[in-house]
Amino acid sequence: MTNSNILILGGYGRAGNHIARLLVRYSEHSILIAGRNSEKAEKCAMELNAELNVNQVAGAKIDVSVPEDLTMALKEIDFVIVCIPLNAQLTNNLIHAVLNSNCKAYLDISPGKEKHETFQKNQNLINQGEKVFILDAGCEPGMPAVLIKFLKTLNSDIRKVKINVVYRDRNMPDGSIQDLISHSDQGRILADGILMKPKQNIKKVVFPLGFGRLRTVPVWIPELENVHINAQITDLEYRHAGINGVSNIVSLFWKRLLRYFLPVKIGVKLFKWAIKRFTKEPLGGFLIVEGYNESEKTTIQGYHEDIYVATAIPAAAAVILVLKSGGGKPPGTYYMNEAVNIPEFIEQCCKMGFEIKVNNQ
């Protein structure tokens, strides 16, 4: 595998910083950390080089909102990783910059309705190009569909899957909070092969490792749209627990009422106060994926004590494996579960510190 030049946009943020660290530890690729603040980018690069005793990380100022600068920055880049919140304009800038540069592949970790709509609008152009775009990589989104496919490698007869997720952190950045409180899509479930609204909205689920019995609500993420077809799943329920009781109330009031007459920055401040003040340990990201086949049950548990490392590990693992395979896929748009070899990917994530345990009953 030849060494590549990797650009991480938003590389001095929590997730981007961890992705850079993992890529340095587990590969010899050259890393360019970038964002709108050159001082932060250069300081982050210098600290990573000193911490890991390497000289393969550099920092630079790149503003994604300036298309000409972005296209110029991608001239010497093989792979771009995007760790910033994306709206329609920034997504459009990135798509066209990648298509008009030497950059071979793109990966992002930021979910968002505007981003997906922009990719759909540009899909014909992307399919006519020579580039691979990987969307919604990380722990959540990203790992749920991966673990469904991993379940199928363990028991190909599984037809029913339940996924429960809890995410806890006291210091989420404003961009992450804004994404979280802005998400108001109706949760759905798959029942007998048909997508529908769930009959039961709130359900209590017991999580191990001290998380306890938590209220969960049904959610749906784009990567699940086709995975149940490809994996031959007939029933799929995906549920998410809140961070704490107070933040749940803040989120509910914001989505149902406050967002219609208050600026989003107020919602961010309220949610930030709630998670800092009321979030109890344990912290981290925990996924439980249960697969059923008649009387047999297979459970996969995925955990990391830091949600940003939990996001960084799958993203970094995907980048390493995609580069190792020389791209591996025809030009187009993919979710993480479609872009990697699942057993190899699980092995790489475990090597990087993502705990994945399997239990057969």
> CA neighbours within 13 Å on the CB side: how many for 209?
18
Secondary structure class of 307 (helix, strand, coil)? helix
Distance CA 73, CA 264 (A): 32
Place of tokens 């190909």: 156
**pLDDT tens, position by position, 165-202:** 999 999 888 877 877 776 656 788 888 888 888 887 88
CA distance 36 to 84: 11
Q: What is the pLDDT of residue 3?
A: 85
What's the pLDDT at 237? Answer: 93
- Specify the pLDDT at position 120: 95
User: What number of other Cβ atoms are within 10 A of residue 272's Cβ?
Assistant: 18
In the structure encoding, which two tokens stand for residue 310, read together?
Answer: 């939990």
Average pLDDT over residues 217-237: 87
| Res 322: pLDDT | 93
Instruction: Give the percent of the chain with pLDDT over 70.
Output: 98
Q: What is the tens place of the pLDDT at every residue in 284-306? A: 999 999 999 887 899 999 999 99
The more confident residue out of 327 and 306 is 306
Residue ranges matching CATH 3.30.360.10 in the chain: 143-307
pLDDT at 263: 87
**pLDDT value, residue 110:** 85
User: What is the rounded average pLDDT of the residues 37-52?
Assistant: 95
Show the tokens assigned to 229: 């077809």
Whole-number mean pLDDT of the chain? 91
Q: List the structure tokens of 269.
A: 């401040």
Alpha helices by DSSP H, listed for 123-263, are: 123-128, 143-154, 174-182, 224-230, 245-256
Query: Distance between CA atoms of 87 and 181, rounded to whole angstroms?
Result: 15
Angle separating helix axes 174-182 and 245-256, nearest 10 degrees: 60
Do 207 and 301 contact (CB within 8 A), yes or no?
A: no
Residue 36: is its pLDDT beyond 60? yes
The pLDDT value recorded for residue 230 is 82
* Fold exhibited by the domain 143-307: Dihydrodipicolinate Reductase; domain 2 (3.30.360)
> Which residue intervals of the chain bear CATH 3.40.50.720?
5-135
H helices, E strands: number in the chain: 14, 16
The pLDDT assigned to 144 comes to 94
Tell me: pLDDT of 18 over 70.
Answer: yes
* Enclosing H/E stretch for 41: helix 38-52
Quote the pLDDT of residue 185. Answer: 61
Average pLDDT over residues 244-264: 85
Positive or negative: CA dihedral 234, 223, 146, 129: positive
* Whole-number pLDDT of residue 286: 95
Residue pointed to by tokens 């008649």:
294
Residue 180: per-residue pLDDT: 74
Give the pLDDT score at 330. 85
- The answer to whether 1 and 12 have CB atoms below 8 angstroms apart is no
Q: What is the pTM of this model?
A: 0.92
Residue 319 has pLDDT above 70, yes or no: yes
DSSP-assigned beta bridge partners for residue 160: 235, 292
Burial tier of 184 (Cβ tally within 10 Å: 0-12, 13-18, 19+): exposed
Where does the pLDDT of residue 1 fall: very low under 50, low under 70, confident under 90, or very high at 90 and above?
low
Residue 22: what pLDDT? 97
Say yes or no to pLDDT of 241 above 70. yes
pLDDT at 321: 95
Token digits of residue 66: 């300036």
Q: Using CB atoms within 10 A of its CB, is residue 67 exposed (0-12), middle (13-18) or buried (19+)?
A: middle
Strand duo 160-168 + 284-293: pairing:
antiparallel
pLDDT of residue 112: 84
Residue 130 CB coordination number (10 Å): 10
Q: What superfamily would CATH give domain 5-135?
A: NAD(P)-binding Rossmann-like Domain (3.40.50.720)
Q: pLDDT per residue over 123-162, tens digit each?
A: 999 998 889 999 999 998 999 999 999 999 999 999 999 9
Q: How sure is the predictor about 207, in pLDDT bands with cuts at 50, 70 and 90?
A: very high
What tens digit of pLDDT does each residue of 92-110 get? 999 999 999 989 999 999 8
Listed in sequence order, the residues at least 6 apart from 299 whose beta carbon sits closer than 8 Å to its beta carbon are: 288, 289, 290, 291, 358, 359, 360, 361
* Two structure tokens written together for 147: 């673990």
